[in-house]
Structures are given as C-alpha cells and as structure tokens.
Chain A
C-alpha cells in the first residue's frame, strides 16, 4: 500500500464547525441510493462515513483516510399534508424542508439553533431544540428511515416493528450504523410563520433557573442566554409559541405563512486569533443584556430570528480565528443543578470569552442508547480551543458531570476521553452489539469513533 505523498484530486481536509483537528478524506458525492451502496461495498481499509453540512462542532463528521460520502444531492422533499408527514432525502437540509413546508402551514417537529443541517445529520445526532421539554428530540418524531448497512444492503427501519432495535441504534448513532438515505418524520401544523415571544431579563443565575422551572409548562419553546462574564450569571429567558393568525397585524396576516430568510453576510476568513477575548466579550454581553427588554410579552418574531439568529451570518465560526473553538455542552439531572453555576464559575476562572452560552431544561430521554438528552439541565458554552488552562478545567468539569450522572453531547464533543464517554453512556455495549449486526465489517467509522473507541 503505497501512495503519492502530496495532495491528490478529490481529497479534502475536513473539520467540524469548531475548525479543530483536521483530517484528510476522499470526498465522494453520491446522487442515488445505488451509488451509496456501491461506495459502501467497495470501501477501503479506512472505511466510510456520511457527512452532512458539517455543523457538528468536533470530529463526528470527518474520518481520516476514509471515503466520506456527500449526500447533498439526495435531497428530495415530499410533504403529505393529510398525514402530516415529510419524507425527505437524508441530504436535504432543514432549511430546504422549512422553505417547502412552512408556506403550506407546517413546521419541523424539532429544530436546533441552526437550520443548516441535513435530515440525516439531525437523526444521526438526535438533535434537540428549545421544545425538548415538550416534544423530545428530532429522532422521537421519525416514523421510518432507510439505511444502507455495512454490507451495502438497504434496510427500512422503524420504531414499531422487529426493526425497532436497529432503528433506535441509528437514532443518535452518529452515522456509525450505516448511511441513511431517507427518512419520514412528523411535522406540526402552524397557522403562521411567526413566533409569539416573551422575553425576560433576569439578574442572577438562580433566578433564571427558578423562572425556567416554573415557566416551562407554559411555553412550547424556551431557552435562556447566560452572561458568562458577569459573576451573577444574569441572563435573558426567551420563550415562545407559534403565533396564531389572530395574533398577527393585518399587514402581517397578508403574508402569514411567508418564509424566505436570507443570510445577511458571510464572515470573512481573516479574523485574528484572540479577537474574542475577555474585554470584547464583556462588551458584547453587556450590550446584549441591556438590549433585551426587562419583561416583554407577545412580541411577534420571525422563525429565523427566534430559532436561528446565527444563520444570518454565514461562517460565523470564523470569528474565533484560525485556532478554532469548541462547544462544551453537558446535561446533568435536576439533583445536580448546582453544576450549572460551578461550570460557569470555572470557565470564568480561566477568563473563557464565551458569548453564546445557553441554558435549557430537558424533558425525558428517548429509547435511543446514545441519545444525549435526559431530564435535567443542559448548558452549552463556546470557548476558543487555544485558551490556556482549558483542558484541565474541562477535564475537571467532566468528572463532576459524570459523578452527577450527566454526560456530554457527541455532536459538540471534540475532547472528552474514551473513559468519560464509556462511563456516561452506560448503554454503549448494548448499542455496539446491534451496530455490529448492522456493520459486521466495521466499515462505518469516524475520527470521533476512533477517538472515543466507539
């Protein structure tokens, strides 16, 4: 096995959204299920992986030396209004799904903080959104999915029959059970493409958390932004529901289901390292906090403004500079809610300049062995990867999270240890057994899988 040392055609250095730890892969566009099957059957010793839109932060959608399949052309979207179901190609983006179904009065069951993810990625990472406490994860709304397994055979999996074990192994399975080609999922009816939003500015973390506990039952969607620079842990809680027709003004009513969000700008690729530092983030957070109203009810916002504020700026990940960044997201049960404060304090202790810190309550877990959410609190904070002392602080937080019965989100993870992962996902063995049935040759792998011995 010898090869040219210099870069060859079709090879691409891939990273996650955090732009850390790149590896080189052969990127292969596939336009049909048959091509996916062929690509899997003829895989080399480094295996195969499907990559969507590259929004997972760490190394989940990259695999050094492997064949990485790009399914963005497998992007059909069929909406059955009667049944309230969408059947979409795995490469279709949630953005495209929304552009198709929102004008017809339907919305995706779950959306994370970006629409720029694929249906396959949403299921592989079992994403959650601001409505997890009510509706659970994206995977919980999937009725059926098509998966090319490790032998190149096409399987239809669903949660109800004899394929349910394989189905739930694939939900949250990080693309390691096979190459998903399409999925059918529930959508929810909406009267308008607007959100009715309540905003509350709160002066310390404990108060934020108290409000969230009592407010959760009143809203379908809720999340809190936390000011990591302030010692108080002050924050802004935004909660909302899909607006009904009668909540709109006459003018808004004329375009009640309009949905055509535009990206405003693309961040240039020349941000210097260290642009985001304690001072700039402090200034940003101060302005952000002051900008929010003390207490405002029933504001009408667009779907984009409410769910996906960052999608307005393409490549916003570049603001962290060439060193890249990571997002630390954990969940802990209610019994360990004090860990939210501990984590914020520790990150502030190393002056972590984090301006996108969000706190959210999760509802119950679903049956998927590797699905991240479970009842309790989840905190997500962005941090530049080169921050001095970061490794030690995060390792210490890992231990506290694990001791409390919590865990980290694989779609965000780029640095936990294999021991931490195995300890906090105790159903790993059960998952691996079914994965081995689906992929007996071990064809599907990723840098994440190698790093964590999945």
Chain B
C-alpha cells in the first residue's frame, strides 16, 4: 500500500533487467520497500540486478521468469504475484530496439519486435490492470517512447510498436479513471543505456537515473504522462507540426 506521501511498498518490474526500470526502483525511498519483483528471462544480468538492488539495501528483492512473447503464460504469472500481496507500482519496461534494415528485409524479425514491444506489453498490461482493479489501488507505468510520437525513417518499426503501446496506455488509463488504479505513460527520449550504446546521441539525451527520478516525481503528483526529460514535450510538439517533406529530410 502506498503511504500518505505516495511512497510504495511493493514494486513489480516487467523487463527486470532494464536499466531505466532499475534506476526507477532506486529512485524510490528504499526504507519503505518491502517487495521488489524483477520479471525477466533467466540470465546472468537478472541475477546481477537482484544482487545489486539487494546490495543497495532494498529489502525483498526477487526474480521471476517472464517472457514477453509467451502471452498465454502471463495470466498465471500475474495472478501468482498479486496473490502473494498487493503491488503498488508495476513497471512495463521491456522492449527491443531491433535492427530496422534487417527487419525491412525479413518481416519475421519485425513481427518479433512487435510481439515483444506491443503484443507482450498489451497482454501483461491487461492482466495487471485486472488485478489493480480488484485490489482497488496501484499504478501501471507504461514505458513508451518519443519514437512513437512521430514515425521516423530510421526507426519507424520500433516507433510504431511504441505508438501502439502509448495509445494502449492512454486508453487503459481512461478506462480505469476513478477506480484507484492508474496508468502513467512515460515517453523517454534518447536514454544512454546498453540499448543505445554506440549510437549518436540525440538532443536532450538523459541517463537512466534522470528518467527514474522523473517517473517517481510524476507518480507522486499523480500525473498521467511524463516526458523524460520534461522539455522533450515541447520539442516533440514542434516536430509533430513539421510538414512531412521537411520532417523526412531531418538528419537520421
């Protein structure tokens, strides 16, 4: 249960090795945390994430097996987690960037990106929404992307999955309005992580820690969408008004 200051006691992370998600977990006051569940495929990275959070003094960190594409297993997994206790904050933080050129050549690869980023998130998001609804409180944090705000030549396949996810998050938030269950849609820009390593940084790039702090602040304020960093909201609003012939010619 969140306390009066909006601090959660139990956090569930889908995409439990995501650097942004782990930074978000760390941005909450650790004294109140009692249960942190990292849902991800078994990996050394997942073990390391559990160890690192535990070493930071966070209580009750554990891992569960989760595969975004195995949608038929999501219901049982979500039920098992919520049956063991209320979850205050759920982070939907998994996703793959993909390789646009390869996906254009082999549509099967594009389908995999869509299944993970969109279908998988939709599936687990709806199962979580059901349980938030029956516990009468809690927030689902959907990690969208500014790539979904306007399709770009260089990453429109990834961008289209995030656009779909973003619309899902907004609509779900409206469906749940007034029920105590809430959805926060987060739209990060270029975040310096493993996923973007080696890529040229875009304007307004941020570290995962900055995203985590913005998410925690937005949760405390009960916001429904947040850009990371905040000024991206205005940059994207401007970009969205550009005529396509101009937008198409922008670098990258």
State the A residues within 8 Å of B (CB).
1-3, 5-7, 11, 13, 18, 20-25, 46, 58-59, 63-66, 324, 326, 385-386, 390-391, 395, 414-415, 417-418, 447, 450-451
Inter-chain contacts of B175 with A (CB < 8 A): 5-6
Do A7 and B34 have beta carbons less than 8 Å apart? no
Mark the stretch among B99-107, B133-141, B192-200 that contacts chain A: B133-141
Interface size on B, residues (CB 8 A): 30
Distance in Å from the Cβ of B144 to the closest Cβ of chain A?
20
Distance in Å from the Cβ of B19 to the closest Cβ of chain A?
26
Given contacts A385-B5, A414-B4, A451-B3, contact A23 B180 (CB under 8 A): yes
Contact of A3 among B1, B9, B130, B180 (CB under 8 A): B130
In the complex, B238 has a CB within 8 A of chain A: no
Residue from A1, A386, A395, A451 having most chain B Cβ neighbours under 10 A: A451
Inter-chain contacts of B1 with A (CB < 8 A): 21, 23, 59, 64, 447, 450-451
State the B residues within 8 Å of A (CB).
1-7, 9, 29, 31-32, 34, 85-86, 129-130, 133-137, 172, 175-181, 220
Contact of A450 among B32, B86, B179, B181 (CB under 8 A): B86
Given contacts A395-B31, A450-B86, contact A65 B4 (CB under 8 A): no
Do B4 and A18 have beta carbons less than 8 Å apart? yes
Do B4 and A5 have beta carbons less than 8 Å apart? no
Distance in Å from the Cβ of A378 to the closest Cβ of chain B?
20
A-B contact pairs, 20 of them (CB 8 A): A5-B179, A13-B180, A20-B3, A20-B6, A21-B3, A21-B4, A22-B180, A23-B1, A23-B135, A25-B136, A46-B134, A46-B136, A64-B1, A65-B134, A386-B220, A395-B31, A415-B7, A417-B31, A450-B85, A451-B3
Do B29 and A24 have beta carbons less than 8 Å apart? no
Distance in Å from the Cβ of B29 to the closest Cβ of chain A?
6
Given contacts A5-B133, A24-B179, A46-B134, contact A390 B31 (CB under 8 A): no
Q: How far is the CA of A23 from the CA of B220 in the complex (A)?
A: 15
Closest to A385 in B: B4
Given contacts A5-B129, A59-B1, contact A391 B137 (CB under 8 A): no
Closest to A8 in B: B179
Distance in Å from the Cβ of B59 to the closest Cβ of chain A?
10
Do A391 and B29 have beta carbons less than 8 Å apart? yes
7 tightest Cβ-Cβ pairs between the two chains A and B: A64-B136, A414-B4, A24-B136, A24-B180, A20-B4, A65-B136, A23-B137
Do A46 and B135 have beta carbons less than 8 Å apart? yes
Closest to A65 in B: B136
Residue from A2, A5, A58, A395 having most chain B Cβ neighbours under 10 A: A5
Distance in Å from the Cβ of B170 to the closest Cβ of chain A?
14
Do B136 and A66 have beta carbons less than 8 Å apart? yes
**Given contact pairs A23-B137, A46-B136, A450-B85, a sample of 18 additional A-B residue pairs in the complex whose CB atoms are under 8 Å apart:** A3-B133, A5-B129, A5-B130, A5-B172, A6-B176, A11-B179, A21-B4, A23-B180, A24-B181, A59-B4, A65-B135, A326-B5, A386-B220, A391-B5, A391-B7, A414-B3, A415-B3, A450-B1
